[in-house]
Structure 1
Amino acid sequence: MKIYLVGGSVRDRLLGLPASDRDYVVVGATPEQMLASGYQPVGKDFPVFLHPQTKEEYALARTERKSGRGYTGFAFHAAPDVTLEDDLHRRDLTINAMALDENGQLVDPYGGARDIASKTLRHVSEAFPEDPLRVLRLARFAARFTEFSVAPETMALCRQLVDEGEIRELVAERVWQELSRGLMEAQPSRMFGVLRDCGALAVLAPELDRLWGVPQKAIYHPEIDTGIHIMQVIDYAANRGWPLATRYAALTHDLGKGLTPADILPAHHAHEARSAKLVDALSARWRVQREVAELARAVAAEHGNLGKLKDMRPATVHDVLMRCDAIRRPERFVHMLDACEADKSSRRAVGLPESAGEPFVARADAMAALAAMQSVDAGAIAAQLVAAGKPERIAAEVRDARIAAIRDRRDAAS
């Protein structure tokens, strides 16, 4: 029995990055030997065990053979005669196909260290296109390792997967799992760049893919192209470490611009309502978590209004904030404003630094209006009306009081 540290922890060690979760491959052992040594079985499709003390994962060396369509169509073989090289051969990228033995010696049969040195994301073998999920993993790694480029021959295999229809075989949960992880990487735009280049984005999210080439008014959007705008927005959100829900809202807030009638371009009247419907459709297809999907829909529907509250009547401001559920969910409202800031402050001509964007001054207007509405004691108003036998007046009186509070605060600030 020989034990090797494999995968991401080896890669990150060579990159000088903090250690990730450690995974091990065991060569020359049987499941019975693992059980006899105190390891706890956890694998369903192939033998994986937890170390009795550390609880880290130890998998028996295995090979895999394509047996059907999609990412689940594989037959696995684990036996004592499977070598470490056999096990590493089935992995996706060379930088993930390295191992360290018990003496700390690097085992690198497929050139992972070479590709780390040249900053290249390259497939291990011609078996790469057997698993369509690898396209999404590749794209996610491009978003994490921002200085790495995809090898041309690897991109060609990705296009082959798309052309053969394998991408359509991916189940929604796995698609969202990879894309949501990619959104949380350092530069999410690189993930979508890889997916666009190989044609996968048009399959997985045509609502997004069609945004490239859609013009916007240069006076508001110096970057002009809607697809480029969206990429600037999600990178802005990533640079501030904002959570997944905010980043997903940033990604999807302008989906409706892809359906703008050609005869009114580069204007995009009423694109917010179109965007909200498309967000609902995309979130349902990807099985996005409810709280993430709800924030994205709210931002898509209201981001235009939240950017111009100062030009609205107090009653309209009140109604916008109520549609945003700002009174009941003030923390979520802040996340909405974060997404709106990413939309506004990331706008700049291509090639300019992020600092060239405009500040999001509308945040102050929104928070002042919310504070005014929160200052109204709705409970006291309700109690007075109930005591007066007029409970049917509660909603109208509370609304009037909140509008008055917004007006008074605005007057005091002017």
Structure 2
Amino acid sequence: MSGQRYQAYRVGGAVRDRLLGLDVVDIDWVVVGATPEDLLAQGYRQVGNEFPVFLHPQTQAEYALARTERKHGSGYNGFICDFSPDVTLEADLQRRDLTINAMAELDDGSIIDPCGGQQDLAARLLRHVSPAFVEDPLRVLRVARFAARFKPLGFHIAPETFALMQQLSRSGELQTLTPERVWQEMSRALAGPRPDVFFDVLQDCGALAILLPEVSHLFGVPQRADYHPEVDTGLHTLLSLQQAERLTTDAAIRYAVLLHDVGKGLTPTDVLPRHTGHEARGLPLIRAIGQRLRAPKAWQELALLVGEWHLDCHRADELRPDTLLRKLTLLDAWRRPERFADFLTACEADARGRTGLEDRDYWQRDYWLGAFAATQVDMPALLAQGLKGADMAKAIAEQRLSQLTDYRNHYRHLSPRPG
């Protein structure tokens, strides 16, 4: 788009990702020298209340007027914006968070880079644009997310930027963020590469203690070295997230892995490094986190199941047939087989999230899946007997228990004790 008075530029992530050789999914545009009336006259549709953003009449791509921001209050929304036609491209880029996100591009491919973004791309550096970085507390989460996303490419946070993240964490500004904004960044990090890096960065800069204290409290809490060679519970959580990334792209499973051991943060110090009963202690915390972050209901439900039953999943071959049946019932495996499979994946990530045991054989998955398969009943045969109501439920339970008993005995005969 161009006119006598205004010019559109590709900006931000689209420019950054193209220069990195990554797929460009979304393209954002900034328009310099235009008024809202100029864009409306060309058929653009205005959206958003904080500042004018317009959707292209054909592509629906977002076009924002170049703007500057001036802090006038606390929190993410405490800004006064100026989007007048005389705001320059350079002024718009100067308000952005990181130098690698503060580049613009013309249609001919030429790059406008007043903040040194190309140099920092080459150096694999996440560096803030200006001291105004500290005016927006959400940037702490955004930098942590970029650190996670680009960790496989070798990116790291500039020391001076990390110092500003620590400053923001101490300032009280993080407490002004709405749950929706926190969850948006956190859920995107859980869905992306290296979610462990996201939470590790937040822990190191002091933000996790404010945003997710239940997880932050796990760092420094010891566990039995014979089960957890890494000892530290916080480190185990990060290692488990690494394994969850290896096993699945499902962010809901990764969320459950993140929270599975939060009860260990409440273990009395006089019984450490043992954590007997941590599963039950963790359930109120998992509920509180889900409600506070407003996580999707399905995510909360899976996290509670993993938090409560992950140890039983690990010791599967120790459970009697009636206990196996009861656990499958509590997991609602027959009505929710997909969620049952997700539960097993989360438990596998927990088992492998231990130093030196990352590639262990998690035989328990096959054991539980075999037990589940063994509980399938011959419904037509039961219906042919005219069974109904309580009699039908009793017959189903008896048949399942009998088949589980046969399965367990057969499994033990083949494999006396899995290693």
> Does the TM-score normalized on the shorter chain lie above 0.5?
yes
User: Is residue 126 from structure 1 mapped to residue 126 from structure 2 by the alignment?
Assistant: no
Whether contact under 8 Å (1:376, 1:405) holds in the other structure is no
Matched, 1:337 2:344: yes
**Aligned with residue 241 of structure 2, among 230, 234, 248:** 234
| 2:15 is aligned with 1:17 | no
Instruction: Note the 1:86-235 alignment, pairs <5 A.
Output: 86-146=91-151, 147-235=154-242
Pair 1:315–1:241, CA change in 2 (3 A):
closer
Q: Are 1:58 and 2:70 counterparts?
A: no
Provide, for residues 259-313 of structure 1, a one-character-per-residue CA deviation record: whole Å limited to 9, x for no partner. 1111211111011111222111111111100001100110100001111121111
| Cα distance in 1 for residues equivalent to 2:157 and 2:380 | 58
Distance 1:2 1:206, change over 3 A: same
Report Cα offsets for 1:219-275 as digits up to 9, x if no partner. 111111111111011111112333011000111101111111112111110111112
Q: CA deviation at 1:401?
A: 1.9
* Whole-angstrom CA distance in 2 between matches of 1:70 and 1:153: 22
Using the size of structure 2 for normalisation, the TM-score is 0.93
Q: Greater shift after overlay, 269-278 or 88-97?
A: 269-278
Counterpart of 1:42? 47
> Offset of 1:24 from its aligned partner?
0.5
- Identical aligned pairs, as a percentage? 51
Q: Quick check: 1:47–1:60 contact (8 Å CA) kept in 2?
A: yes
- Counterparts of 1:378 and 1:243 in 2: how far apart (Å)? 36
What count of residue pairs does the alignment treat as equivalent?
405
Pick the aligned partner of 2:266 from 234, 259, 262.
259
Q: Which amino acid aligns with 1:358?
A: R
TM superposition outliers: structure 1 runs of 4+ over 4 Å: none
Unpaired runs of 5+ in structure 1?
A: none
Identify which of 2, 8, 28 aligns with 1:3.
8
Quote the offset at 1:69 in angstroms.
0.9
User: 2:126, 2:73 → 1: CA distance?
Assistant: 26
* Secondary structure in structure 2 of the residue aligned to 1:64: strand
Q: Deviation per CA, 1:139-186, whole angstroms, max 9, x where unpaired?
A: 000110102111111111111112110001111111111011011221
Structure 2 partner of 1:396: 394
Q: Relative to structure 1, is the Cα distance of residues 92 and 155 closer, same or farther in structure 2, using a 3 angstrom cutoff?
A: same
Question: CA shift at 1:392, angstroms?
Answer: 3.5
The offset of 1:7, in angstroms, is 0.4
Q: Are 1:318 and 2:325 matched, yes or no? A: yes
| Whole-Å separation in 1 of the counterparts to 2:267 and 2:379 | 43
Matched position secondary structure for 1:374: coil
More moved, 168-177 vs 34-43: 34-43
- The corresponding residue for 2:90 is 85
- Corresponding residue for 2:386? 384
Shift of 1:381: 5.8
Letter in 1 for 2:359: G
Q: Secondary structure at the match of 2:375?
A: helix
The aligned residue for residue 365 of structure 2 is 363
Find the residue that maps to 1:104 and give its secondary structure.
coil
Between the aligned partners of 1:395 and 1:132, the Cα distance in structure 2 is: 55
Q: Quick one: distance in 2 between partners of 1:231 and 1:96?
A: 28
Q: Distance in 2 between matches of 1:381 and 1:203?
A: 57
Distance in structure 2 (CA, Å) of the matches to 1:118 and 1:342: 33
Q: Normalising by the residue count of structure 1, what TM-score does the alignment of the two structures yield?
A: 0.94
Task: Give per-residue Cα distances to partners, 1:347-377, cap 9 Å, x unaligned.
Answer: 224xxxx7x4321110111011111112353
Paired with 1:208 and 1:307, the residues of 2 have a C-alpha distance of 22
What amino acid sits opposite 2:398 in the alignment? D
- Alpha-carbon shift at residue 382 of structure 1 (Å): 9.8
